Amino acid sequence: MQKPEIIKTVLLIVILLLPILSFCQYGKQVIDSMVVRSSDSVKTKKLTFNGYPYAFYTPETQAAIGAGGIFLFYTSNQSEGLRPSKVGFGAFYTTNKQYKFSVNPSIYFNSNKLVMHMPMSFGYAQDKFWGVGNETVETGTEEYFREDTGIQLEVQVPPLLFFSDRSGFILDYKHTAIVDRKDNQFLIDESVNGTQGGNLFGLGMNLIWDRRDNLFYPTSGHYQYIKFIAYTEPSDYTFTSFELDVRYFKSVFKKAVLASNLYIKSISGNAPFYELAALGGHQRMRGYFQGRYRDKNYMTLQTEYRQYFTKRLGFVAFGGIGDVSNEITDLSLNDLKFSFGGGLRYLFNKKEHVNLRMDIGFGPHGHTGIYFGIEEAF
């Protein structure tokens, strides 16, 4: 993405932020009157809603317009320390005719002892595939079109066998259709697994340690998440997926937080190419197209400095390193990719500390991405 295009996109987003902020303030005043009261308790819990239109640019979508929002609520007025539940949703359409609809509920029950997540999405995307490995090159023929439908149910309960805060099970379904292979030689020659698309049915488990002081903007504490899913028959491809996500947060100055994140993903079996571990995206290694490098193993480490300079406005600065490899032991310090960048924050839900964010990430050799969304990257 050229610098003039970046400047134009940033100016467009800043201009759009003005009505967005007014919209958020108005929405908050209206919804503040919607109060859920318990008949046998003097406590009250407010149902809050924040909605916003947005425009953004990412390497994956190019320029896009859309709308999103988040409902925040509590499932009980009496549970001490109960975390807020949320239902986030969004939809966007891009200049290269992509679109996506998504709903992401996360519900907390019984003093956080029972948690349910059920993300759902449907979309049509102009994706790119450069091949497998950490040394793939640009050829100009990476584009192809795909359609995806996904739904995942994750239920977390108190641990039965492990000393974690919660453990749970996962049911996962994904359908991918390769709509148009374009001139992508890997897909035309069918030299990689997954060129026909297909259905995936997965069953898995997870372990969670969650000691963050806030769900949406932690200033202290840590979070560890381990997930394992096995995709077996009747799936069109049989493989396993393992993920480790470790996060640490610490207040360093007044209104300043230092956050760090280690993420590892490992795939074994005959996974389709689009399910291989992918470097890049809006959460990790920002600046790289998500999937610019793909392989069976992926490791990345990132850190982010977060600072408010008014009651509602803030900024972040971040940097990360990472790489992919066929074997986890093949990762080398000499071959690590890096990215860095910064962003702006607007605190549009002060009570629960939910931010609206815009980030710009950079990598070597012209890799650039602008990301706009709700909540922090990690």
CA angle 301, 259, 206 (to 5 degrees): 65
Q: What dotted CATH number matches 3-374?
A: 2.40.160.50
Whole-angstrom distance, CA of residue 174 vs CA of residue 123: 12
Residue 105 tokens read as 């509920």
Residue 301 tokens read as 């480490």
Taking 50 as the threshold, does the pLDDT of residue 41 lie above it? no
State residue 161's pLDDT score. 64
Residue 84 tokens read as 């807020």
State residue 69's pLDDT score. 87
CA distances (Å), 135 to each of 80, 106, 336, in order? 52, 38, 11
Q: For the chain, which residues make up each domain, given as ranges? A: 3-374
302 vs 78: which has the higher pLDDT: 302
- What does the pLDDT look like over 160-216, one tens digit per residue? 766 788 899 999 999 999 999 999 999 999 889 999 999 999 999 999 999 999 989
Hey, is 193 helix, strand or coil?
A: coil
State residue 96's pLDDT score. 83
Whole-angstrom distance, CA of residue 232 vs CA of residue 210: 30
- What does the pLDDT look like over 139-154, one tens digit per residue? 999 999 999 999 999 9
Question: Which residues on adjacent β-strands are paired with residue 85?
Answer: 73
